[in-house]
């Protein structure tokens, strides 16, 4: 049984801090929402690491929005729906494409400097986009530029208090509404924060997999926290594996952006043969799940652990100017993007599902909002269109703030929290448990799945569940408990969905089955342990 709270605490013994709006996370979603809400309210923004450490910081390719006269909302909508493979919420997609340009202008007003070409915003094209609509910054450092601009604003804002290196353990609820959070300070002390609204902006789940493009903060905390608090979690079987992460001894799984293929790079197997024509008419720019599985098939065929990405037809000058970060990172490992074929392999990259929200970012738990990668707004369906996630965070962030500003009163904190009288510490080293979990997910809930493997993976994960009855004290123990929660949900959802679609591929059910499966798998803790509810799209 996954418990309501990860720790036993006496609320009356802990210090309390009051805020109007509590924001958990400091990536694009958290920073943007904090700055917007701070115009009218006192905001407390909490992040478990440094202010600048998040998935956002590593975003390379850019942010999608309809800017060019040749483009239209209808085209962006169509591309998003095709990538989402029949599971997008059409109303949410309309919100994204129609409000995206406004969101981008907001980012520019807040100081983000996107690249220009002849005085106009420079636009590039990425996989599965039919138009050039991706804005980028410093070539391939879009996320870092957004974080720079927004964090500078947030740091200077008198209405924003920032707690970095603070870990949110759980949300606190009273009478079915969210009223605050339990937080651990860097000193280990616990504190309760109390607010009228809480916005979960805690990012993704890449660290659930052994191979990921995500930084260490992406341990799926927010999804587990929201699930424990009673919010519904949706579409978690859909994980996007980025087709091209650097795969070289001693190198991290650094992402080689889709934009490199957008500029004409081709994929070759280790025999030097191009292969994408066997798999999809859009070749290297096919949807990510198709490219990723094609790469795995070629790796299996050639008994290799990687394929090559080849952009050597471009001039060294173009490659260095357009992809400075990728170029320099590859060079650190002796690989010259301009003259060498770069070894790449797929890695876990993006969680399509998450905490279910309505069109205003409100979750099924009152006063709890979710924004950015932790949320499931319905925009991405079964597969995210490249560069739609940064746009989603600002579009829905703005909507959330409009809602949050309407909440002025606070729900009182409860007198006590569920207490399991935990005493036993964790015995096995967490680092071992974590590695084991990551391997289980790669093996059984990765790019290719089937019932037998998923059942085995689920059983192996369940053996780790006694951790929920242990007295957890360290941050890595709490993170592991969150990872385990989400790993259980993902394997269960993947087993339930007996078809293949978007970021979920079952080799025992390789076809998409619209008749039966045009629906979401939703989990809600209060309706039973890892129990699914299926609702029509
Ligand atoms: C390498 C890479 C490249 C990408 N490129 C692109 C791209 O070009 N375009 C695009 O649209 N998308 C891209 N993405 C995806 C995109 O970057 C993310 O989806 C997006 O940045 C998520 O933003 P966020 O604000 O939701 O979460 P994040 O930016 O991940 O921020 C999460 C925040 O939550 C905090 N947090 C988490 N748990 C806790 C806790 N328990 N307590 C306190 N704080 C907590 C973290 O410390 C962090 O501050 C890329 C992702 C990666 C990894």
pLDDT digits (tens, 9 = 90+) for 453-492: 999 999 999 999 999 999 999 999 999 999 999 999 999 9
Compute, in angstroms, the gap from residue 332 CA to the centroid of ligand 1.
25
Question: Which residue has a Cα nearest atom 8 of ligand 1?
Answer: 61
| Terminal alpha carbon distance of the chain | 29
Is residue 529's pLDDT more than 60? no
For the segment(s) 242-347, the CATH number from 3.40.50.10240, 3.90.950.10, 1.10.10.60, 3.90.700.10 is 3.90.700.10
Is residue 248's pLDDT more than 90? yes
For 471, phi then psi, to 5°, come to -85, 100
The answer to whether residue 501 is catalytic is: no
Per-residue confidence band for 287, with pLDDT thresholds at 50, 70 and 90: confident
Strands 190-194, 16-18: pairing is: parallel
From 36, 50, 55, give the residue whose CB has the most ligand 1 atoms within 8 Å, as the site to mutate: 55
pLDDT digits (tens, 9 = 90+) for 111-139: 999 999 999 999 988 878 899 999 999 98
CB-CB contact of 353 with 238 (8 Å): yes
Is residue 222's pLDDT more than 60? yes
Among all chains, which residue has been given the structure tokens 């694009």?
28
Average pLDDT over residues 359-388: 96
Nearest to 82 by CA among 380, 299, 304: 380
From 63, 128, 143, give the residue whose CB has the most ligand 1 atoms within 8 Å, as the site to mutate: 143
For residue 70, the number of C-alpha atoms closer than 13 Å in the C-beta half-sphere is 6
User: Hey, what are 130's tokens?
Assistant: 């039919």
Q: How much of the chain, in percent, has pLDDT values that exceed 90?
A: 90
The mean pLDDT value of the chain amounts to 95
Which atom of ligand 1 lies closest to the CA of 28?
A: 25
Q: How many CB atoms lie within 10 A of CB 108?
A: 14
Is residue 249's pLDDT more than 70? yes
pLDDT digits (tens, 9 = 90+) for 207-220: 999 999 999 999 99
Catalytic residue among 57, 288, 398, 399: 288
Higher pLDDT pick, 287 / 423: 423
Compute, in angstroms, the gap from residue 445 CA to the centroid of ligand 1.
22
Supply the angle between the helices 475-496 and 451-462 in degrees, to the nearest 10. Answer: 150
Nearest to 10 by CA among 145, 190, 276, 197: 190
Per-residue confidence band for 535, with pLDDT thresholds at 50, 70 and 90: low
Ligand 1: residues within 6 Å at CB?
24-30, 46-49, 54-56, 58-63, 142-143, 167-168, 201-204, 213-214, 217-218, 221-222, 255, 350, 372-374, 387-390, 393
From 202, 207, 223, 396, give the residue whose CB has the most ligand 1 atoms within 8 Å, as the site to mutate: 202
Would the ipTM clear 0.90, i.e. be above it? Answer: yes
Which atom of ligand 1 lies closest to the CA of 169?
A: 41
CA distance 298 to 61: 25
CB-CB contact of 437 with 207 (8 Å): no
The 3 state secondary structure assigned to 162-198 is: EECCCEEEEEEEECCEEEEEEEECCCCCEEEEECCEE
User: Hey, what are 70's tokens?
Assistant: 């040749």
Spatial strand order in the sheet of 123-124: 63-64, 134-135, 123-124
Give me the numbers of helices (H) and strands (E) for the chain, helices first please: 15, 23
Helix (H) or strand (E) holding 314: none
CB-CB contact of 22 with 30 (8 Å): no
pLDDT digits (tens, 9 = 90+) for 425-453: 998 899 999 999 999 999 999 999 999 99
CA distance 104 to 146: 11
Compute, in angstroms, the gap from residue 372 CA to the centroid of ligand 1.
8
Q: How many CB atoms lie within 10 A of CB 420?
A: 16
Q: How many CB atoms lie within 10 A of CB 430?
A: 18
CA distance 242 to 349: 5
Which atom of ligand 1 lies closest to the CA of 375?
A: 26
CB-CB contact of 134 with 64 (8 Å): yes
Q: CA 416: distance to chain centroid?
A: 33
pLDDT digits (tens, 9 = 90+) for 314-344: 999 999 998 999 999 999 999 999 999 999 9
Helix, strand, or coil here: 254?
A: coil
Strands 519-523, 233-234: pairing is: antiparallel
pLDDT digits (tens, 9 = 90+) for 44-70: 999 999 999 999 999 988 999 999 999
The 3 state secondary structure assigned to 477-512 is: HHHHHHHHHHHHHHHHHHHHCCCCECCECECCECCC
Residues 6+ apart with CB under 8 A from 526: 230
Residues 6+ apart with CB under 8 A from 435: 210
Which atom of ligand 1 lies closest to the CA of 202?
A: 34
User: Hey, what are 222's tokens?
Assistant: 């927010």
Which atom of ligand 1 lies closest to the CA of 204?
A: 30
Compute, in angstroms, the gap from residue 138 CA to the centroid of ligand 1.
19
Among all chains, which residue has been given the structure tokens 């964790």?
426
pLDDT digits (tens, 9 = 90+) for 258-270: 889 988 999 999 9
Question: What is the per-residue pLDDT for 532?
Answer: 47
Question: Which residue has a Cα nearest atom 13 of ligand 1?
Answer: 59
pLDDT digits (tens, 9 = 90+) for 135-194: 999 988 999 999 999 999 999 999 999 999 999 999 999 999 999 999 999 999 999 999
Question: What is the per-residue pLDDT for 295?
Answer: 96
Task: List % helix, strand, coil for the chain (3-state, nearest 5).
Answer: 35, 20, 45
**Domain segments of the chain: what residues?**
242-347
Question: What is the per-residue pLDDT for 442?
Answer: 95
Cα 305–Cα 310–Cα 315 angle in degrees, nearest 5: 155
Question: Which residue has a Cα nearest atom 6 of ligand 1?
Answer: 59
Residue 188 class from Cβ within 10 Å (0-12 exposed, 13-18 middle, 19+ buried)? Answer: exposed
Question: What is the per-residue pLDDT for 512?
Answer: 96
């Amino acid at each position: 049984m996954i418990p309501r709270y990860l720790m036993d605490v006496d609320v009356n013994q802990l210090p309390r801090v009051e805020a109007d709006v509590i924001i958990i996370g400091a990536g694009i979603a958290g920073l943007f929402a904090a700055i917007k809400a701070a115009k009218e309210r006192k905001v407390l923004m909490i992040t478990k690491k440094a202010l600048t450490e998040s998935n956002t910081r590593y975003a390379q390719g850019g942010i999608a929005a309809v800017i060019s006269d040749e483009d239209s909302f209808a085209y962006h909508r169509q591309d998003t729906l095709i990538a989402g493979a029949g599971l997008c919420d059409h109303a949410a997609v309309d919100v994204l494409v129609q409000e995206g340009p406004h969101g981008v202008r907001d980012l520019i007003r807040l100081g983000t400097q996107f690249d220009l070409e002849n005085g106009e915003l420079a636009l590039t094209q990425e996989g599965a986009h039919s138009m050039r609509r991706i804005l980028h910054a410093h070539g391939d450092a879009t996320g870092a530029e957004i974080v720079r601009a927004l964090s500078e604003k947030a740091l200077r804002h008198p209405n924003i208090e920032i707690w970095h290196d603070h870990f949110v353990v759980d949300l606190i609820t009273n009478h079915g509404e969210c009223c605050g959070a339990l937080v651990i300070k860097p000193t280990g002390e616990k504190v309760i924060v109390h607010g009228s609204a809480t916005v979960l902006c805690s990012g993704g789940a890449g660290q659930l997999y052994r191979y990921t493009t995500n930084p260490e903060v992406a341990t799926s905390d927010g999804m587990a926290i929201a699930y424990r608090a009673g919010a519904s979690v949706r579409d978690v079987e859909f994980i996007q594996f980025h087709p091209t992460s650097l795969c070289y001894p001693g190198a991290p799984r650094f992402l080689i952006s889709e934009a490199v293929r957008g500029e004409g790079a081709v994929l070759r197997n280790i025999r030097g043969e191009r292969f994408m024509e066997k798999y999809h008419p859009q070749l290297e720019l096919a949807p990510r799940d198709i490219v990723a599985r094609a790469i795995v098939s070629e790796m299996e065929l050639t008994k290799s652990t990687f394929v090559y990405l080849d952009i050597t037809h471009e001039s060294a000058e173009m490659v260095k100017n357009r992809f400075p970060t990728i170029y320099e990172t590859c060079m650190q490992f002796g690989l010259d993007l301009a003259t060498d074929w770069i070894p790449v392999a797929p890695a876990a990259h993006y969680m399509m599902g998450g905490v279910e929200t309505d069109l205003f970012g409100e979750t099924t738990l009152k006063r709890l909002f979710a924004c950015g990668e932790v949320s499931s707004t319905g925009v991405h369906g079964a597969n995210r269109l490249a560069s739609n996630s940064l746009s989603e965070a600002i579009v829905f962030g703005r909507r959330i703030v409009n809602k949050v500003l309407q909440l002025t009163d606070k729900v009182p904190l409860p007198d006590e929290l569920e207490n399991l009288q935990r005493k036993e510490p964790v015995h096995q080293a967490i680092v071992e448990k974590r590695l084991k979990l990551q391997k289980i997910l790669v093996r059984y809930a990765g790019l290719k799945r089937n019932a037998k493997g998923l059942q085995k993976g689920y059983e192996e994960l369940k053996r780790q569940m006694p951790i929920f009855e242990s007295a957890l004290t360290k941050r890595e123990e709490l993170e592991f408990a969150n990872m385990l929660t989400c790993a259980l949900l993902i394997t269960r959802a993947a087993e339930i969905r007996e078809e293949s679609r978007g970021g979920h591929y079952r080799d025992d059910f390789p076809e998409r089955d619209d008749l039966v499966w045009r629906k979401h798998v939703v989990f809600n803790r209060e309706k039973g342990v890892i129990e699914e509810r299926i609702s029509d799209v």
